Amino acid sequence: MAFKYSTGFKNAALDTGSIKSQFETMKIKLYDGAIPATANDAEAGTLLCTFTGPADVDLDLAAAAADGQITKLSSQVWSGVAAATGTATHFRAETSTDDQTESTTQKRIQGTVGTTAAYDMQMSSTAITSGDTYTLDYFVLNFLGG
C-alpha cells in the first residue's frame, strides 16, 4: 500500500513548504467503513479517534529526514480518546478546518489501517472502543518507488 495525498496537500507542499511543515499542521483521524478512492473524495466513514500531540497540539516529526523518510518525533506522545466504537479501516491526516467533503484544496494524507505490515498503518488491533485512549508509538512518512 502507499499513502494517498490530496491535490491540496501536494500543491501546498510544492508551493509553500515542505511535506514536514504541511504535515505538522495536521491531526491523524481513524475512520471505519469504506475507504475513499482518493484523498480528494468525501469521507464516508465514522470518525473513531483523533490523534494529536501533547495538550491537543499538532503532530511533530523528527528534525530531519533520512533515507527518503521522516519519523514521528520520538519524544512526543501522539494519542487520542476514541469518540466512537468501530473497526478502523483507514486514516486521514487532516487539518482542523477540514470538513471531510470532496475537495481538491484540503490538505490530506490517507492510508489503510490493519494488523499486518501490508497496511499503511499497522495496529495491534483495529477494534476501537469509545472512551478508550489509543497511542501511536511509531509513524513514518516516506516516498515509495524510485
What is the per-residue pLDDT for 68? Answer: 83
What is the per-residue pLDDT for 136? Answer: 92
What is the per-residue pLDDT for 28? Answer: 95
Single-letter code of the amino acid located at 82: A
Please, what is the end-to-end C-alpha distance for the chain in angstroms? 15
**Residue 123 · residue 115 · CB < 8 Å:** yes
Residues in Cβ contact with 110 at an 8 Å cutoff, skipping those fewer than 6 apart: 3, 4, 5, 6, 35, 36, 38, 39, 90, 91, 92, 93
Q: What is the pTM of this model?
A: 0.89
List, run by run, the mean pLDDT of 10-residue segments along the chain (146 residues). Answer: 85 84 89 97 96 84 88 90 98 93 95 94 96 93 63
What is the per-residue pLDDT for 21? Answer: 84
What is the per-residue pLDDT for 125? Answer: 96
What is the per-residue pLDDT for 146? Answer: 45
Single-letter code of the amino acid located at 17: G
What is the per-residue pLDDT for 104? Answer: 96
Closest among 50, 74, 55, 60 to 22, alpha carbons compared: 60
